[in-house]
Amino acid sequence: MPSAVQSGVAHSLRRLGRFATFHVERLGYAARFFVAVIGNTPAAFRRLHLTLREIYFSGVLSLIIILISGLFVGMVLALQGFDVLQRYGADQSLGVLVALSLVRELGPVVAGLLFASRAGSAITAEIGLMKATEQLAAMEMMAVDPLARVVAPRFWGGVVSMPLLAALFSTLGVFGAYIVGVRLIGIDAGAFWGNMQSAVDFRQDIVNGIIKSAVFGVAVSLIAVFEGYDAKPTAEGVSSATTRTVVLSSLAILALDFVLTVFMFRGVS
């Protein structure tokens, strides 16, 4: 029946339109929020102790999970890598394989995912609960801008912490690979470190890895503070916002990683 079909199509189009409008509007709001956070950066840095405190909460308190994960990822990489490399008689390149994998990809990406789960969710929950308990409203009524006092320090705390955590993740990963590859399997230590040193390029590999982790830090921190600030001031609202932070951050890290990899390692053999 044409009228029923038309009605169904119109309904679907309306839903699509609402969905698109909602997300475009939200994206625009997030962009304005990002500009406002950047604009409040000088005010936040005048209260430097707040940013340092957030570096402690986001960075130092994430150390345990980052270090242990890095160690195990490196150990597993060494086991799997050795299994494949020895088939081609290239087991002496284990250090190179592990180091490049960690510095270029796994360090920034896995550390970013862990950071989103551990620190990003905590930031969202904290800001969301501050909103639900009227602490942000109270601050505004006391003529103190929550963007400068609450949001910007948490944002910069995350941005500063993330590259450091990724670097530590990679370092512990290499150490884990050393334990498995050299100490347990018996690869020559000189070959392990020497091949690694000659193959890993500072500008091409390490700096690009740091850039990646810094970009992930900005993305995760922005998503975390935005979702907290924009959360519905209810228990369910804060719960949903926390979940969204982890999901969106993870997707953003993976998507950004692909884009950055395309630009950074184009043409690299």
Partner 1 sequence: MSQSTDKAAVPERAGSSDVAVELADVTFGYDPARHVLEGISMTIPRGKVVAIMGGSGCGKTTIFRLIGGQLRPQSGRVLVGGQSVPDLDRDALFALRRKFGVLFQFGALFTDITVFENVAFTMREHTDLPEQLIRDLVLMKLHSVGLRGAAQLMPAELSGGMARRVALARAIALDPMLVLYDEPFAGLDPISLGVIGQLIRKLNDALGITSVVVTHDVYESLKIVDYMYFVSAGKIVWQGTPAEVQASGDAFVRQFVDGEADGPVPFHYSAPSYRDEMFAHA
Note the residues at the interface with partner 1 (CB under 8 A): 130, 133-135, 137-145, 149
What is the nearest approach in angstroms of partner 1 to the Cβ of residue 162? Answer: 22
Nearer to partner 1, 133 or 198 (CB): 133
What is the nearest approach in angstroms of partner 1 to the Cβ of residue 218? Answer: 24
* Closest-CA residue to 62 (of 102, 108, 150, 122): 122
Nearer to partner 1, 194 or 233 (CB): 233
Nearer to partner 1, 154 or 244 (CB): 154
* 3-class secondary-structure state, position 186: coil
Residue 128's alpha-carbon distances to 103, 157, 233, in angstroms, are 34, 17, 7
What is the nearest approach in angstroms of partner 1 to the Cβ of residue 150? Answer: 9
* Closest-CA residue to 213 (of 96, 35, 59, 91): 59
Give the C-alpha separation, 27 to 88, whole Å.
49
First and final C-alpha spacing in the chain:
60
Residue 232's alpha-carbon distances to 132, 134, 140, 229, 236, in angstroms, are 8, 12, 18, 9, 8
What is the nearest approach in angstroms of partner 1 to the Cβ of residue 154? Answer: 11
Nearer to partner 1, 139 or 179 (CB): 139
Nearer to partner 1, 29 or 72 (CB): 29
Give the C-alpha separation, 265 to 104, whole Å.
9
* 3-class secondary-structure state, position 90: coil
What is the nearest approach in angstroms of partner 1 to the Cβ of residue 143? Answer: 4
Which residues does 221 contact at the CB level (< 8 Å), separation at least 6? 120, 123, 154, 155, 156, 157, 158, 159, 162
What is the nearest approach in angstroms of partner 1 to the Cβ of residue 90? Answer: 53
What is the nearest approach in angstroms of partner 1 to the Cβ of residue 142? Answer: 5
Nearer to partner 1, 140 or 188 (CB): 140
Residue 84's alpha-carbon distances to 78, 79, 81, 103, 123, in angstroms, are 10, 9, 5, 20, 41
Nearer to partner 1, 92 or 135 (CB): 135
Copy the structure tokens of residue 217: 């830090």
